[in-house]
């Protein structure tokens, strides 16, 4: 199992909207996650800073990266870019900072 983590940041005052949009995530997108062996995907908000910590468990890096080739994924990224900090005003998706795992513990 591959564990991936990333940071993104919600625009100031947009945390509630970010959460609302995820409360209504598109079923076509979660279907693609399942098809590409995404086993776990969670996002946590640090309310004071607007930073979002994402955690994903996947089977295969290449299969996971292929999710970005789907039109529904591209539309979701663009939709979410409205509420996320981006590289620039023309970015198609929010700015992600990939985190490197430095410690892991699992019982058993």
Catalytic residues: 22
Q: Are 81 and 91 contacting, i.e. CB atoms less than 8 angstroms apart?
A: yes
Residue ranges of E strands in 1-108: 2-9, 38-46, 51-58, 97-99
Helix (H, G, I), strand (E, B) or coil at 17: helix
* Tokens read off for 54: 């994402």
């Amino acid at each position: 199992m591959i564990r991936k983590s990333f940071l993104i940041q919600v625009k100031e005052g947009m945390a509630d909207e970010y959460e609302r949009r995820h409360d209504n995530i598109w079923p076509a997108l979660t279907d693609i996650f399942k098809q590409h062996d995404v086993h776990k995907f969670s996002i946590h908000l640090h309310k004071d800073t607007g930073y979002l910590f994402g955690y994903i468990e996947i089977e295969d890096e290449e299969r996971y990266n292929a999710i970005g080739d789907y039109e529904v994924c591209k539309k979701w990224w663009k939709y979410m870019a409205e509420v996320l900090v981006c590289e620039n005003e023309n970015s198609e998706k929010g700015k992600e900072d990939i985190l490197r795992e430095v410690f892991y513990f699992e019982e058993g």
